[in-house]
Amino acid sequence: MRKIALLSLSLLASCGGGNSYHASYFFQSHQKPLVYLLPMEDQTDSPLAEEASNAFTQAIIQRLEQKKQLEIISSKKQKGQFLVTMQLVKHSPSQQNPSELITSIHLKILDRRFDTPRVILQEVISQSTFLDEPLHREQTLSWDDASFRVSPLGLTYAKISREIAMRIKDYIGLATKG
């Protein structure tokens, strides 16, 4: 009975379409997955949202590159096996407390190794943070600025970017394990 079950499983595994060969070849080649990460889009009406979306993009790319498990590409000419899109959908103070910043980011990961791209993750990640003082228009939101990275707002960005980078790495890792 056990031999029949094993034979059945091996037959089912070999019945996959032409796409399964490409995916299994990718897994067996031990290459890093090629990930095209689009810059975060600003979908808010916040005056600081464009700066915020740039800071988040830089922080996420930096975290992914530190892990060295994915090959991040930035050129549209090079076709990545995975496409990551992000949209900043909320970056504003709470209506009840102006010192509370509410941030929401829509994350979507597409597996493009097949003829038809497949969504492997689509999620909105939200975070609420209390700041020492409310956001103001002149505030610097640059990931390149060391003082920003250690500020309460910068630490909040670091926490969210770490969570997003972890999700990207984990979901692409799961997808490439077959």
List all residues 6 or more positions away from 124 whose beta carbon is below 8 Å from its beta carbon. Answer: 89, 104, 105, 106, 107
Outline where DSSP puts E strands in 80-139: 82-93, 100-111, 118-130
Q: How confident is the model at residue 1 (pLDDT cuts 50, 70, 90)?
A: very low
11: amino acid identity, one letter: L
Write the pLDDT tens digit of every residue in 119-128.
999 999 999 9
DSSP 3-state of 162:
helix
Inform me whether the pLDDT recorded for 15 exceeds 50.
no
Domains along the chain with CATH numbers: 32-176 (3.40.50.10610)
Inform me whether the pLDDT recorded for 79 exceeds 60.
yes
DSSP 3-state of 51:
helix
Give the Cα separation of 98 and 115 in Å (integer): 48
Structure confidence at residue 144 (pLDDT) = 85
Question: Which pair of structure tokens corresponds to residue 92?
Answer: 């504003």
Q: How confident is the model at residue 30 (pLDDT cuts 50, 70, 90)?
A: low
- In angstroms, the Cα distances linking 8 to 17, 24, 165 are 17, 20, 39
Q: What mean pLDDT is reported for the chain?
A: 81
Write the pLDDT tens digit of every residue in 51-60.
889 999 999 9
- The pTM for the full model equals 0.78
- In angstroms, the Cα distances linking 25 to 1, 11, 20, 114 are 32, 19, 8, 12
Give the Cα separation of 71 and 64 in Å (integer): 9
For residue 36, give the H/E element and its range: strand 34-37
Sole residue written with tokens 């979306």: 53
